[in-house]
Amino acid sequence: MSGRVELFGLYLPGRSLLHRIPVAGKFALVFAASLLGLLLRQWPVSVGALAGCVALLLGCRLGVRRCLALPAAVWVMVALLVAYQLVWGTWRDAALVVANLLLCVYAARMLTLTTPAPVLLDALVVAARPLKLIGVQPERVGLAAAIMLRSIPHLLASFDEVRDAARARGLERNLLARVSPVVVQAVAYAQTTGGALAARGLGEGDEDSG
């Protein structure tokens, strides 16, 4: 388990440029970098933005593996996307899709590695306040984000545990043996989380109080 790679990474203190930028500036940087590639849809732009994100991450001096390593599942997805685009599209399409995918992941990692989770969630709640006009509760947005940040590492850990258990039983090629336990654990985790929220008065019924 110690060798498991996080998708977005966990906060590590430092004195780099990204660490010193206010959280609002980081959000703006991440959105700008991501939208640049997604909206312009030009592979040189996306590759250039990805290279910029990678350079900023390495500039944090937190270690190459901590900054750039991705879970094996991500690389499997990348390989499948490349194969699909090469068969049904062109190498330019493959470069664009893969660069945009990695750009979004590494842009998000710039936030999570250099900003404490409570600061990120507080900033998200503040950013969501204008949504009150359409009935959205900012605190619920922050709560949903907090649950997501906790759930992703849990699910990735489940994949690792189930994979190791299947390999130990000689079932590493049995898709059912590798997927079913993960689904069961995910459902159990969701039920436990839902029960904890309900116990704190955060269930669906509390909306009727208004």
pLDDT tens figures, 74-123: 888 888 889 999 999 899 999 999 999 999 889 888 888 998 878 877 87
Residues 148 and 152: their CA atoms lie apart, in Å, by 6
Among candidate residues 52, 82, 115, the one where a domain is terminated: 115
Higher per-residue pLDDT: 56 or 162: 56
pLDDT at 175 over 70: no
Is the same domain home to 135 and 161? Answer: yes
The burial class, CB within 10 Å (0-12 / 13-18 / 19+), for 183 is exposed
Range of the domain at 57: 17-115
Is the same domain home to 35 and 74? Answer: yes
Among candidate residues 83, 115, 147, the one where a domain is terminated: 115
pLDDT at 126 over 50: yes
Other residues' Cβ atoms within 10 Å of the Cβ of residue 197: 15
Residue 23 within a domain:
yes
Q: Are 102 and 57 in contact (CB under 8 A)?
A: no
Residue 12 within a domain:
no
- pTM confidence score: 0.66
Instruction: Give the per-residue pLDDT at 48.
Output: 93
pLDDT averaged over every residue in the chain = 77
* Domain count within the chain: 2
Q: Are 138 and 129 in contact (CB under 8 A)?
A: yes
Instruction: Give the per-residue pLDDT at 54.
Output: 94
Among candidate residues 115, 144, 172, the one where a domain is terminated: 115
pLDDT digits (tens, 9 = 90+) for 16-59: 988 999 988 998 888 888 888 888 889 999 999 999 999 999 99
